[in-house]
Amino acid sequence: MATMVNLTINGKEIQAPEGMTVLEAAKREGVFIPTLCYHEALEPEGTCRLCIVEVSGSLRHAIRVSCIQEVKEGLVVETETERIKKNRRLIIELLLGRSPYSKELLDLAARCGVVTSRFRTGEDDACVRCGRCVRVCRDQIGAYALCWVNRGYDRKITTDFERLSEYCIGCGSCAQVCPTGAIKIEDRGDERKIYTWGQVLARFKLEKCKECGRPFAPKKYLDRINEKAYKTKGLELVDYICPECVKKAEHRPTPVKTPFGGGGMPFVV
């Protein structure tokens, strides 16, 4: 059983298991801390800095990033001090400068009392450099198709040598976790395109569903599902059937056996 530590969040004494982050502990207590680069399915990296809190007690009085700061015995956490609110508003303004139309970001801005940004760049490439796409591709999919290049303001996400990626499997997880819609997945006819501002990251021909004939997934992606979800169970993916046909099959009086079992196609494998 995990050792519990005692700490206070906004004056309330709580207990949390050792190893838990301050953000998780606050969430458990119903305390709202804004986040953007944080995603429950991914390892936190503390990139966006939105989840800053003020700590003291068992740690030197300072501003810390709550998604990577672990709870400690005797820690005193304040999530809504004037200093924190001021810094957070500045961070949101800077993020809005990059991505002024992101719904997730605009909702956060409204919640933090930010109406407009002084830092509009006019470029509006929408990417806020949160790195969710890089982490999901690397840590969940294991494809390592995306990487960072450049530094400072010019830092951006791309593929090796900024060419069409040979590692991408076309799963679309990067587009799914992107908070601003900067990475997009587009299926047109029998082609899937993964792209971001000004760059196509990868292109694929889509395999057809054996039931309805609709092109629905790249072979590389189906091969990965076969490898990760089927072969490990001693099974083999034989026929490609789209998630919609899987659902229909489940509602037939005699269910049809499908390679996708019952869950449809997972985006995050």
Angle at 100 (CA atoms; ends 98, 103), nearest 5 degrees: 120
Structure tokens at 156: 């951006």
Are the C-beta atoms of 14 and 7 separated by less than 8 Å? yes
Structure tokens at 77: 């956490």
Structure tokens at 188: 């047109």
**Residues between 149 and 188 with contacts to ligand SF4, criterion CB under 6 A:** 168-174
Based on the shown chain and the rule CB under 6 A, indicate whether residue 146 belongs to the binding site for ligand SF4: yes
Q: Which residues contact 166 (CB under 8 A, 6 or more apart)?
A: 160
Residue closer to ligand SF4, measured from CB, 238 or 268: 268
- Give the whole-angstrom CA distance, residue 94 versus residue 119: 6
Residue closer to ligand SF4, measured from CB, 72 or 224: 224
Considering only residues 16, 108, 137, 246, which one is a binding residue for ligand SF4 as defined by CB under 6 A?
A: 137
Determine how β-strand 199-208 pairs with β-strand 184-188.
Answer: unpaired
Q: H helices within the chain, ranges in order?
A: 22-28, 82-98, 103-111, 132-135, 173-177, 219-225, 243-250
Tell the smallest beta-carbon distance from residue 167 to ligand SF4 (Å). 7
Considering only residues 23, 25, 127, 141, which one is a binding residue for ligand SF4 as defined by CB under 6 A?
A: 141
Considering only residues 37, 202, 222, 241, which one is a binding residue for ligand SF4 as defined by CB under 6 A?
A: 202
Q: Total residues contacting ligand SF4 (rule CB under 6 A)? A: 16
Based on the shown chain and the rule CB under 6 A, indicate whether residue 196 belongs to the binding site for ligand SF4: no
Based on the shown chain and the rule CB under 6 A, indicate whether residue 217 belongs to the binding site for ligand SF4: no
Residue closer to ligand SF4, measured from CB, 95 or 136: 136
Residue closer to ligand SF4, measured from CB, 48 or 157: 157
Contact footprint for ligand SF4 (CB under 6 A)? 136-137, 141, 143, 145-146, 168-174, 194, 201-202
